[in-house]
Amino acid sequence: MVTLVNLRAYWRFLVVLYQFSPLIVAYTRDKRKYLLFGGGRRVTTEMRVERADILLESLLTLGPTFIKLGQLLSTRPDILPPEYIEVLGSLQDDVPPAPWDESKAVLEAELGPVEEAFDSFDSDPISGASLGQVYVAEYEGEKVAVKVRRPGIEDLVEADLRVIRWSMPLLMRFIGEGRAFSLENLADEFAKTIREEMDYAEEAETLVEIQENFADDDTLVIPEPIPERSDDRVLTMEYLPGTKINNIEALDDRGIDRTELATNLQRIYLQMIVDDGVFHADPHPGNLSVTDDGRIIFYDFGMHGEVDPFIQEKIVEFYIAVANQDVDGILDTLIEMGTLSPNVDRQVMGDVMELAIADARGDDIEQYRVNQILEQVESTIYEFPLRLPRNLALVLRVAGVVEGVCVTLDPEFDFISVATDYLTEEGYREESVQKIIEGVGQQGQKTAQSLFRVPPKLERVLDRADRDNLTLNVRLEDNRGVLDKLAKRLIYGIFLSFGFVSTVIIYALNPENLVAVGAAGAPTGVVALLLWRSFRSRKGIRTTPQFTRQNLKERRRE
């Protein structure tokens, strides 16, 4: 089996190399215009969009594993430029269904004969994806949805994962050192993610966990799994039909309040991310429906994410900073989360944030959307060499997709207002204010203590100075070698003066002996040259920042 997987991987590697060859040539020409010689060339926005389209077509052609990889890459603005993120964001996990005979073989391998496992079974799938497809059946008199892993997908995925690992050294040649780190980690993360998504037993556990977290919430419905008809490759669950959440006309015909629906969806995701720490990570309209009484149905928990307490706390601080239009607070939170370098130009990033908020405000100063802020941040993330933690990337993607669904339901939807109300109700804003007050109190206490400690110490210092018994220890930080340069110039100056005087004296005593004059003057000339060079500024290689205020103005005009 291992040999077969290796052989398949070798063949797939050649197929992938052929499929991506136009992009490989293009990226090589960016460094050397004529492949083997010539300088680099400037890559325009139009060129990036064109390449992103080629990448999209290549991923679709290569099949399930690479479709999933493209979806994951669409959440990683620290690896790809914004043009790629936008194009790959449209990548749909929708492929032709596998033949029924092959799916039936998977079902019977896990559950036994289909006729015995279910009362009835419709062999036409109601939805198909790259890793599995869903059928409708009857079990114990009730309609159920049966999710079956795509036949033979395991070997294909394992072969493709090997191809991706083998391709890493080649890809590293076309990206910077900072992004190379992120890309290398992404390969391991992707392998873990896709294996988890193929494990339907884990999906069932996630489904149950989220269901328990919302046990007392009547704004959503999560299908109940049926363990006795589920396994690693088959997941049977309650069948819950509904109206697609983006079917506006149907929702209006049923008299459903779309603003309330958007609010409920936003609050559900806030609870998942901020409170529970585990969330449904694929909220596109195909996975969200609405019951006739206005409750939201969630499908497909294969893609899910987890958030640790530290990131949860920082996400809350980020939301509060955005709500308060606190640019410094936003930057501090991004730095603490590790998405922004501590050495970043805060002025430039502050301008980006201010523009993002100003662009999103509209007529009403309170009406602005986090998604637009995220887009600005994401485009900047690529231009600064940053590292974006995987689950934080998922949070960013989920926030963007959810906000898009909410705006579809209600074009005037106020994300910040909903988030602010939720954080206030849950006590997060009060807790934030309390932390600030505690911080101020501690600082005040330290200041008061200093007021009592300083006068006696100051009096002792003055007494010692009055007795001429005061000693000062001075330590100079000279990281740039200024003192060393001054010492060299002083020595050069002394030697130059000595050499100059010696040369003049020799010339005055014996002007005809040019050899003696030259012997004295040559070292003097060398010292003069060294002294002159010590005053020259070092020109070296100058770098041009990738993101300047001029770039900012150009973006603003666009």
Enumerate the active-site residues: 282
Beta pairing class for 120-121 and 132-139: antiparallel
Query: Which H helix or E strand runs over 451?
Result: helix 428-466
Burial of 242 (0-12, 13-18, 19+ CB in 10 A): middle
45-59 b/e (C-beta count within 10 Å ≥ 16 → b): eeebeebbebbbebb
CA proximity to 237, closest of 249, 229, 225, 220: 225
Cβ-based neighbour number of residue 474 at 10 Å:
4
Residue 164 amino acid letter:
I
Query: Which H helix or E strand runs over 493?
Result: helix 482-509
Round to whole Å and give the CA distance between 31 and 20: 17
Round to whole Å and give the CA distance between 207 and 223: 8
What is the number of residues in the chain? 558
Sign of CA dihedral 214, 216, 221, 225: positive
Q: CA distances (Å), 346 to each of 158, 181, 304, 322, 389, in order?
A: 44, 24, 33, 16, 21
220 strand-pairing partners: 296
